[in-house]
A and B are shown apart, each in its own frame.
Chain A
Amino acid sequence: MVDFNRFTLANGLRVLVHEDDTTPMAVLNILYDVGARDEEEGKTGFAHLFEHLMFGGSVNIPVYDEPLQRVGGENNAFTSNDITNYYITLPATNIETAFWLESDRMLSLAFSEKSLETQRNVVCEEFKQRYLNQPYGDVWLKLRPLAYKKHAYRWATIGQDLAQIENASMEDVKAFFKKHYNPQNAIMVVGGNVKTEEIKLLAEKWFSPIPAGDKYVRDLVQEPAQTEARKETVTANVPLNAFYLAFKMAARRDADYQVYDLLSDVLSQGQSSRLYNSLLKDQQLFSDIHAYITSSLDEGLFVVEGKLSEGVTMEAAEKAVWAELDKIATEEVSQIELTKVKNKSESIMVFAEMSLLDKAMNLAYYELLGDANGLNTEIQKYLAVDAAKLLQVAKKTFVREQCSTLYYLTSENA
């Protein structure tokens, strides 16, 4: 159980406080409701580049990191296709420093040319390090545009290519800030050794003076239903053949979301899972096989990916994966299997309460979903799923005409 108090400032900033006196630390987490899906084609990778620029100084504070480190704090951030999340951990006695820093950069950035220039380079190196200079590193740059034709999920958070990042201008940066970085578009969670009354005062002091800004109304083109099997083959200098199957799945707020999560657990959670035992251990077709979901706010992807054992043909491997998908789409899972994945989900949620930062991030995310208390009731949704429901959802999902298949072949096989 993660307790919290909640209030909203006049400018629209939502604030949640989680008091935890077992730690001397505090966390200040701010989630901005903006991700790569809010970018326009041709200017992709921008939400993430912008995240880097948020560390390049704000209107009244020339450097962000140093004053925080000086009070014993650390910070980081991440960008996804849906959200951009910033967090600070620091000794609770110094929590006001976090308010000072975060409120100033919500107010306005320094917009320094030097910072933009440097971070363009840093992000290009990140692009190379994580996506281009790694075996299979560019899979998601290929898989997304295969699975999505209209929705902005068709590009990865890092962006479509290096050129779009290199071309980002200061004008773009300023416009993006104005559009997305305002109190109405943010959720702040403060957790740790703090008191709600004290946090209210600090929030009023530092965040209330920030103008509400214009409300960003999201109006994304939704992805039309996929009605044809899609296939693409990539050849690269990699040691093993691999393939990726992607199916559309329920959005994060949809009632079926937890069903998909449990389906991926039955197929792929741990060494007792079906794909691991059937395909890797018994038939020895794969050296690596996984199923997982993207947990997206709009329609997401259910992905099965595997690297083939040497000597196994793509046809044989693909056929065997489909046999497992057909099985879960035609036969109910056993009660033992269902209890197993539910118990596992329960464990994972309890263990997540060990980390203050995880608690703060989760509260912010569930508040974005509609209600932070959803974090505490989430497990009930998992426990309510029965075998018939799993079967029904598997049946409508694992259909060949709704599948996007990416073959990733070694150049030896080309």
Chain B
Amino acid sequence: MLNRTLIPESRQVNDINFIAPQKQELANGIKVFTVNAGKQELVRIEFVFENVNWDESKPLQAIAVNHLINNGTDKLTAREIADRVDYYGAFLQTDYGADQSSIKIYTLNKHLGSVLPILWSVLNESIFPQQELDIFKQNQQQSLKVSLQKNDFLARKNFAHAIFGTSTYGSDIDVEDYQAIERADLVAYFSAAYKPENCTIFVAGKFEAAEFDLLNANFGMDWNNEAGSVINQFSFEASPKGEIFIERADAIQSAIRMGTLSINRSHPDFAGFQVMNCLLGGYFGSRLMANIREDKGYTYGIGSAIVSLKDAGYFFIATEVGADVCTSALNEIEKEIDLLKSEAVSEQELSLVRSYMLGSMLGSLENAFSHADKFKNIYYSGLDYDYYDNYIHTVKSITAEQVKALANKYLNTADFTKVVVGKK
């Protein structure tokens, strides 16, 4: 007779294998990191550019360039670029991040030779037509107006600004900032940032010698852009303490976001912090979820995270809760943090988190794309695969006392910035 009360035997995850990319260079010196894996005849090629020449009076300069880069070159109109990319069933994605901007092409291998010249034109010959810029400005303003009615958007925006001020990490974009964008600023930024010296290429998928030769033939020569640039660099003072309350009279839920400047991936405590964060609010079974969603029913979801940026890190807790239980939810969050700081976690709970985190790491290495992403994380933090070895070692071996010590070191709620949007 089957005994359904007994959990089947299981094993802890032991071997987690990372596929390190092969490193090559194009003829012009651009580094190419390739994870050549997978059964499907497809490839993702990502051109990544460091963000440069930060000017806080033009906070949208780099964002607008990234967004509009595929909207017209001196040979192709925006429509022609889109038509050709789509005709080959490819996807051209632009992606602006706090530290880097990127352009990715996803294509079936059979169309690679057809899509690379389009990408060359985009990366070298973009002209940022005034008409496209005007449409962008108008539509982004409208979309921002919609976002500004969302409590969680307002909480995110105000929190980032409180912590990171007028740096690129925290700049507080308003409708006027869109109005102020000038075409000349875009052209200037394009020619400073989108050049070989500032570019690294990451490839994932099926990518053999023939494909590399194709990439080199298209991108290995001199590029057009060559203006001077300085890679952005920031430093931050302690974040401001205290509460920012933005009242929205008709809110039926309130958005809460609280946290503080913290460490990033290159800090030796980072892996331990991730374990501590996981316990608190990093997975479905976390203490915040167990208490505030599963026990109290105050929210659909609550979570916490430690985020690593190039020149900073930050920790935050975020949720949206019923407006009538906002104060209770804030109190419960405090309680959970206090508990983490005052009582050592049981081995039962800690071992649960260990297993969960190891399984989650294993599961995050699903395909060539994810292996390339894992490499990018360490590459842009100036780290190597020892980082992951250390992460896995820490997850397996950290003690309850160490977790408690980390909570006391890093989660001082009196120093947190707390943003509440809605009603209290």
Contacts and interface: CB of A to CB of B under 8 A. Distances in A.
A209 interface: yes
B58 to A, nearest CB: 23
A129 to B, nearest CB: 5
B77 to A, nearest CB: 10
Contact of A350 (B17, B42, B146, B356): B42
Interface in B354-410: 355-356, 358-360, 362-363, 366-369
Contact of B322 (A89, A91, A125): A125
Contacts, number: 222
Interface in A69-114: 69-74, 89-91, 93-94, 96-97, 99-100, 103-104, 107
Contacts of A272: 79, 82-83, 85-87
B86 A344 contact: yes
Given A270-B86, A336-B87, A240 B321 contact: no
23 contacts: A22-B38, A66-B285, A69-B284, A74-B356, A74-B359, A94-B8, A94-B10, A96-B8, A107-B4, A135-B150, A237-B149, A239-B146, A270-B82, A271-B78, A272-B82, A277-B79, A281-B78, A284-B138, A310-B142, A339-B87, A344-B89, A350-B42, A351-B40
Interface stretch (B187-195, B237-245, B294-302, B306-314): B294-302
6 tightest Cβ-Cβ pairs between the two chains A and B: A72-B359, A121-B297, A343-B89, A347-B89, A272-B82, A271-B82
B87 A65 contact: no
Nearest to A352: B40
B363 A89 contact: yes
A211 interface: no
A70 B351 contact: yes
Interface residues of B, number: 77
Contacts of B108: 346-347, 350
Contact of B145 (A22, A125, A134, A239): A239
A133 interface: yes
Interface of A: 22-25, 59-61, 65-67, 69-74, 89-91, 93-94, 96-97, 99-100, 103-104, 107, 117-126, 128-130, 132-136, 205-206, 209, 237-240, 269-272, 277, 280-281, 284, 287-288, 307, 309-310, 336, 339-340, 343-348, 350-351, 353-356
B207 interface: no
A270 B17 CA distance: 37
Contacts of B70: 271
Interface of B: 2, 4-5, 7-13, 15, 17, 37-42, 70, 78-79, 81-83, 85-91, 106-108, 135, 138-139, 142-143, 145-146, 148-151, 250-253, 283-285, 293-300, 320-322, 351-353, 355-356, 358-360, 362-363, 366-369
Contact of A70 (B39, B78, B356): B356
Given A121-B298, A133-B151, A284-B138, A343 B78 contact: no
A123 B294 CA distance: 11
A104 B366 CA distance: 28
B360 A129 contact: no
Contacts of A73: 356, 359
Contact of B360 (A74, A121, A130, A237): A74
Contact of B143 (A66, A94, A118, A288): A288
A61 B118 CA distance: 57
B167 to A, nearest CB: 28
A73 B139 CA distance: 42
